[in-house]
Amino acid sequence: MEAFPTEDRAKDLKDLDLGVDPLPVQRSLGLCWDLQSDSFTYHVPKDSKPFTCRGVLSTVNSLYDPLGLVAPIVMQGKALLRELSCGMKDWDEPLPPEKHEKWVLWKNSLQALESLQIPRCYSSGTLSTMRLKELCIFSDASLIAIGAVAYLHTVSCDGQHHVGFVMAKSKLAPRPAHTVPRLELCAAVLSVEMYELIRDELDIKLDSVKFHTDSRIVLGYIHNTSRRFHMYVANRVTRIRASTQPNQWHYIQTELNPADQATRFIPAADLQNTTWFSGPHLLYSDIESHGTGPFTLIEPEEDKEICPKVKVLKTTTLTSQLSSERFERFSSWTTLCRVISRLIHVTRSLKQKTNGQKGWKSFSETPSVQELTQAKEVIIRAVQQDTYKEAFKNLKEGRQTNTKCDILRKLNPVVDEDDLLRVGGRLSSADLTENEK
């Protein structure tokens, strides 16, 4: 430091003998960094704030915790602020005296945070020499809050396991209160958002990323491929699967889930003795003690978040027409007319209510003249409609026939009342029968 001019040196600069003098505590980004133990510590402001909504909010926000190291304690303050400010309209109005004791107990418990020591390093060795580096994120929810916490799990070449606290987040549960499965799903989304932040900021190549939750319902939602959900669940499942794969999600028992501590009240003095900073015991073993699936939906028929299966039956009435292609199966015109007349006879007998003999039972060997005439009309109509389909359509709509049908257009065709195509022209004014024309 002697190389720098005196005016460029910090005023509180001190000379230290690293072999004798203890290293000081350095403030870094709002946190206290104990250089001696290479750990983060906390300094709690002792300013006395008025017992109002503004004063309570100021005290809660005075805990600068960007990494979520003391997220369970900060969450308690936020939950207490929500409870105390319920029904209050003025930020500077004194809060009810009966709630003062609960506030004082929480505020005094903050002094225990000054005894915390959180290791700054993720591992005791060099990360580049570790044979395994994986990020493990745990999530949980309650009716009070949702939370997620991330650890860096490393395994050295000699098989030693190291777990380092990376960061955590906690939020108050939204109001009006949702169901616990919905809150667990929101916690899973929070863990995905936290993973994306760590992935972008952490300059470490990870071998794997694992997500853990103690909700089998949420795991069923994430692994589902057969059922549809209502909008609330569907949007969050889509958000989760946009950044993660279903096989990255695992089940962990509630009593082993460290994120559970971010969703319930824990005294600040007991935080150091929990698994909040060290991670669950399953990370210190090579044995896979967490559930790896596959996970299915829990009681899908009773889950209100799953859209019920709706069956739609559509009935279509097909109008069958006699095709002229079938006429080619008959050897002569007479045979074809007799067969069609028989079909007409059977159809007519089935429609008659008074006739006891119906269908083929009432059939006579010789068809009547009327039936033969109708059979001829049916045959001619079928052939005409197959051959001049577009002309039929144009004539019924009052338009001229297609220019491609020049021969037909010269005959000035018309469609009669029996849907038969007939020759028009001057004969339509002649004093003749319809068939003669």
Domain that holds residue 101: 22-120
pLDDT at position 381 is 84
pLDDT by residue (tens digit) across 78-132? Answer: 998 888 887 777 888 888 888 888 888 888 888 898 888 888 888 877 888 888 8
Are 42 and 187 found together in one domain? Answer: no
Answer yes or no: is pLDDT of 359 > 60: no
- In angstroms, the CA 23 to CA 17 distance is 9
* Among candidate residues 265, 280, 314, the one where a domain is terminated: 314
Are 263 and 165 found together in one domain? Answer: yes
In a domain, 339, yes or no: no
In a domain, 351, yes or no: no
pLDDT at position 87 is 72
Are 276 and 306 found together in one domain? Answer: yes
pLDDT at position 190 is 96
Closest CA to 401 of 386, 416, 415: 415
In a domain, 412, yes or no: yes
pTM score: 0.67
Are 103 and 224 found together in one domain? Answer: no
Is-contact 290 212, C-beta < 8 A? yes
In a domain, 6, yes or no: no
In a domain, 352, yes or no: no
In a domain, 405, yes or no: yes
Are 245 and 286 found together in one domain? Answer: yes
Mean pLDDT across the stretch 410-430?
Answer: 73
- Distance between start and end Cα atoms, the chain: 123
Closest CA to 154 of 120, 199, 191, 124: 124
Least confident residue range of 12-26, 231-245, 279-293:
12-26
pLDDT at position 25 is 67
* Total domain count, the chain: 3
Are 106 and 129 found together in one domain? Answer: no
pLDDT by residue (tens digit) across 14-48? Answer: 665 555 556 666 776 667 888 778 888 888 877 78
Are 295 and 240 found together in one domain? Answer: yes
- In angstroms, the CA 217 to CA 392 distance is 63
Are 259 and 165 found together in one domain? Answer: yes
pLDDT by residue (tens digit) across 162-206? Answer: 999 999 999 999 877 688 999 999 999 999 999 999 999 988 889
What CATH number corresponds to the domain at position 267?
Answer: 3.30.420.10
- In angstroms, the CA 318 to CA 223 distance is 43
Which pLDDT band, with edges at 50, 70 and 90, does 257 fall under?
A: very high
Are 210 and 83 found together in one domain? Answer: no
In a domain, 133, yes or no: yes
- In angstroms, the CA 84 to CA 167 distance is 29
Which pLDDT band, with edges at 50, 70 and 90, does 292 fall under?
A: low
Better-predicted residue by pLDDT, 314 or 299:
314
Are 164 and 305 found together in one domain? Answer: yes
Are 268 and 293 found together in one domain? Answer: yes
Are 165 and 194 found together in one domain? Answer: yes
- In angstroms, the CA 135 to CA 132 distance is 10
In a domain, 357, yes or no: no
* Among candidate residues 298, 314, 330, the one where a domain is terminated: 314
Q: How far is CA 18 from CA 1, 14, 21, 23, 124, in A?
A: 15, 12, 6, 7, 22
* R_g over Cα of the chain: 43
pLDDT at position 134 is 93
* Among candidate residues 102, 120, 138, the one where a domain is terminated: 120
Q: How many other β-carbons are positioned within 10 Å of the β-carbon of residue 335?
A: 11
Is-contact 379 337, C-beta < 8 A? yes
DSSP SS3 for 139: strand
- In angstroms, the CA 135 to CA 149 distance is 11
